[in-house]
Amino acid sequence: DNHESERETVKELLINFRKLAAELQMQITRLDRLDMDIGGRLGGLEEGI
């Protein structure tokens, strides 16, 4: 019936949302590492000047 298909749709949306959230988390972690790497290099440059 209609109610059952609605529930399935919600379930699929939740699953997709969790996948997106996990993907975002990975990207944020990657950006954090890049940020620290750049920060470290800039710190090294400033010491050299």
pTM over 0.75: no
* 1-16 tens-digit pLDDT: 789 999 999 999 999 9
Does 30 score more than 80 pLDDT?
Answer: yes
As a whole number of angstroms, the distance between CA 17 and CA 44 comes to 40
pLDDT for 46 beyond 90: no
Show the 3-state SS of 1-32.
CHHHHHHHHHHHHHHHHHHHHHHHHHHHHHHH
